[in-house]
Structure formats: C-alpha cells, structure tokens
Amino acid sequence: MEAHAAMEVLINQVGFDVGAPKSVVVRAGEDLDGARGRLGIVDARGTLCYEADLDHVGGGALWDGHYWRSDFSGFDRDGEYELRIAIAEREARYAPVAVTPRRTARESLALAAAFYYYQRCGTEVPGWHRPCHMDDARLPDGSHIDAVGGWHDAGDYNKYNGYTPLSVVALAKAGRHELLRPWPLKQAPPPLDEAAWGGAWLAKMQDEKTGLLRGDVFSGYGWWGAPEDETDNRPGTDDDRPIRGEPSLGHHPGVALLAFATLQNLRPGESRWLECARRLDDAAAGADLPVIQQAAAALAHLEWPEQRDARVEQARRLVRAVLSRQRPDGSLHDPHIVDQGFVPAALAEFALRLPQDQLAPDIQVALTKYLEFSAGLSDNPFRIMQWDAHNVFYPYVEPKAWYVGQNSMYLSQAWALLLAAKLLNRSPDAAVRDQARLAEELAWAQINWVLGCNPFAVCMLEGAGRFNPPQYHHRYNAIRERERGAVPGAVCNGYVRESVERDAPRFDLQGNDYHSTEPWLPHNAYYLLALSET
C-alpha cells in the first residue's frame, strides 16, 4: 500500500466478487475532519474506469481518527485496478485491487478448509508434528477409552465437543461447493474427508449407553511445546489426558445431531452415523434445548435420511419454537460471542429448502425484522455488527476475564445474512428484494472486516491478503521453523475492546496475545459456511 502519512486505505485484501457489494474505508487525521473525498478506480493503462464519492462517516472521539467510506458496488469490470483516494488536497493510492467472478471463495475457501488438517490430533501432520496424544483419554473413574483423533481446538492441544460438530457441518458444506471440486490442494485432504475425520472423533465421544456426549479431552494450558511430546503416547500410563465430566446434553447436542445426520448423507453406506444420530436424538427427547441448539436440531431433521414426513414435522415444531422467541426489536437471542448468526441462518435454510412450507412466510417476516435489527447495530464506519446498542466490542468486566475477538460472531452473521438475501431475493415484491441487497451489503461488510478492512489493516486469514498477524498465539510456535505459530488458513480471534472502560479496537501486533491472535475452530467453520453461500 502507498499512502500519505495522514491517510490509510482499509480494504478487503483478497479482492471483490463481480456482482457483490464492494466498499473501502479511509482513515485520516484530525486536520481533514469533514472534508469531502473522492474515489477513483484506474486500470493498468492509467485509464480512469470509475468514480464515486467518499462519504465522511465518523470522527472525533471515534477510535482516534476520522473515517470516510465509499461504496463502489456499481463497478463490476473483471480485472486488476488501482484505487486512487483524494480528500481535500491529499491523495493516497492502493494497488492492486482485483475484481473477478467469485473472487473471495476462489482465493480463500480451500485455504480456510485446509486449516483443519494442520490442527489434526492423533496422527502425523508432515512438516508440523509426529503422531501425538495417542493415549487419549482417561475417564473420570480412571478407566480408559479410545479418544484418539479429532482436532486441536485452538492454539492449545485440548479437544472439545463445543465446536467439533460445527466444523464437521461446515467442512461438509464447503466440500460440496463447486469451486472445490476437484479439490485443488495436494498438501491437505479434501473437506469431505476432513469432515469424516472430525465425525469419527465425535462418535468416539458419545456414550454408548446413554447416547450423550462427553465434553472434552483437557490437559490444561501448561504445556508449550510440540504436541507429540506432551504425553508418552502409551495408553494406560499416568500422563493419559483426562476427559472432564460426565456425558451430558451440555455439549452442543443440536449441532452434533446435525453433524451426524449430515455425515450420513455424505456417506450413505456407513450406517454408524445414523446410529449415532438416533442415540443422541433419543437422549435429547423432551429436553428444553437452548434456542441455538433447537435451530440446529431443526436442520438435523431435514438432513435425516429416513422417515421424511415425520422428520419434517419435527423440524417444523422446532422452528415454531424458535420463531416464538423472537423479541420485539427483531433479535432472536442474547448477544453471543460466537454463534450470533446461527439461529437466523437455520431459519433461512429451512425456508430455502422448503419454500412452499406453511412456515416460510413467517420466516421471511422474522428475517426481515432480524435484518432491521442488524442494520441498527451496524452504524459505524466499517458496518460491522456491534455487540449491542451500547458497545461495539464485547464488554468484559475485568482485564483478567476470558474474552476473545468476535470474528465468529461476524462470520456467523455473514452466513445468516447471505442466506437471508437468497430467500428475500425470491420475493416478487421489489421492496423485499431491496432488503435482500441490504442483507448482502451487511454480510460482505463482516467478511471484509476479517479480510483486512479494519482499523490496523490486518488480514485475519493466514496466507491470504497482504498483511497477516506477525505472530500467533499457538503452541505450534515451539516447532522448529514454525516460530510464528502461523497455521495455513487459520482465522484468528480478531479485535477486542481496548479496555474495560474504553470501547475502541485493540489487536496485538507485537506478541501473541490469545485475545486477538489465537486461531479457533469456529472462526474457520463460519468462514466456510459464509463463503459457501457466495
């Protein structure tokens, strides 16, 4: 990037899709407060191809800067270009900016899917680690079960049922995307195989007697070294990693049910997935599941490969329960640092799969209200959806509290909004189709934020864009020649609140603070789900 010292061009560093919303944000100093701006797009020959206004969209106390924004969605010419920014008498340039069909998915979907392979546990990952944790795991009563496999959940080596099921679903979705068939990477297996890898571990964590799920294999956070050196890899010795707690419904049962049903459809010759789904469904019968798990269970019943009519009716019952919980402001549940968009995404998915269903009109109304609610929370220069009406970022109560960046929150909302846009675009009503365009604009704003259109111009998808985090919070940085801890395709936590008192963006560019630079399975899962809809 070439820029005047007083101006910064903040943009999606991967590029833009033909036909999709496009925007750029410019930050400048106090001396340009309120000045008018102009955006120009120039081709390789220096020809001006497009012009648009830069609108002043915030300043003063807002994050120590003044911000301009320009929408250039009307520019859809395939190629590479240079952006020329002018505010008052100052100019900045940003080159190149690519606009091509399905650019973002084409350039990043396979990369984000391959991340899971590098996170594998219980096997060798060539160039990264030898077979590790081959002695997982010890039950609370001291006995041993085979819990080898799965994925390291984040920058540590623990394994959780929290977001393994979501990752299975996301990999299955991505694996069916036409841009990933055939699979373009040699260094990692295709997403459908990776989904089965995660599902196999999920099945191991299901209690055969009750159908409930064990929660996690957890050894804490004390070990910082190569994963194969944490234990002796011999089952039955004192350093076997423990499984915490008893099997329960507290470990994302609805999403796990969806994962099993999805795997059964992918591998119809393998009846074990359906057996896992049946046992979990029986265990959850009659339970009052949280709204996110109800929404996931509804999709699971649509995936069910048998008893179609009964399963659709079960899905309807769950969708009705979800719709009944919508609040007057349009929200569907309390703010959630990870799964904010799951419920509206599930509603949209139901209506897209069953467009003639009796609930489809009610879902369209509910999603329109949700869209209005979301738009009301995006009144900031980057149009990211705030935590709530009073806070842009998650308001932690003390510095030592657990809190992380909200990239999963943004990407789950992007997924929901892209699905909602597809649904609303089917309407014969022009006003409803205008709402669909708003949904697309908001969805891409969340994706753009992750890919570089953010205050410090960090592309938070490792291996994409121009500037990734210099260092990640990942124990892989103890591996020789992996000192950055940078896992290909990893989406890190992202920006957090500067302090308890100040609601301004903070991102660690100096060290490896887990709050912002640690990767985590759900970030990649929601990235895959969102980009699979483009």
Mean pLDDT on 292-311: 96
Residues 6+ positions from 204 with CB-CB distance below 8 Å: 145, 146, 147, 148, 149
CB 1 within 8 A of CB 83: no
Would you state the structure tokens that stand for residue 40, as one six-digit string? 């120009």
Res 1 pLDDT > 50:
no
Res 181 pLDDT > 70:
yes
CB 453 within 8 A of CB 410: no
> In what side-by-side order are the strands of the sheet with 216-217?
159-160, 216-217, 243-244
Helix (H) or strand (E) holding 529: helix 521-531
| Alpha carbons 54 and 335: distance in angstroms, whole number | 32
Q: Where on the phi/psi map is residue 382: left (φ > 0), alpha (ψ -120 to 50), or beta?
A: alpha
Helix (H) or strand (E) holding 100: strand 90-100
CA dihedral 263, 268, 270, 273 (to 10 degrees): 40
- How large a percentage of the chain has pLDDT more than 70? 98
Closest CA to 521 of 24, 61, 120: 120
Spacing of C-alpha 163 from chain mean position? 11
| Alpha carbons 180 and 109: distance in angstroms, whole number | 8
Residues 6+ positions from 96 with CB-CB distance below 8 Å: 80, 81, 82
- What is the pLDDT at residue 320? 98
User: Strand, helix or coil at 522?
Assistant: helix
Tally of CB atoms within 10 A around 388: 13
Res 184 pLDDT > 50:
yes
Residue-wise pLDDT for 474-509, tens only, equals 999 999 999 999 999 999 999 999 999 999 999 999
SS (H, E, C) 149-199: CCECCCCCCCEECCCHHHHHHHHHHHHCCHHHCCCCCCCCCCHHHHHHHHH
Helices 360-376 & 308-324 angle (0-180, nearest 10): 40
Residue-wise pLDDT for 117-165, tens only, equals 999 999 999 999 999 999 999 999 999 999 999 999 999 999 999 899 9
Distances (CA, A) of 386 to 49, 90, 336, 410, 515: 34, 31, 11, 9, 18
φ, ψ of residue 125 to 5 degrees: the values are: -120, 100
At 202, is the pLDDT very low, low, confident or very high (cuts 50, 70, 90)?
very high
Q: Can you give the pTM of this predicted structure?
A: 0.97
| Alpha carbons 164 and 263: distance in angstroms, whole number | 13
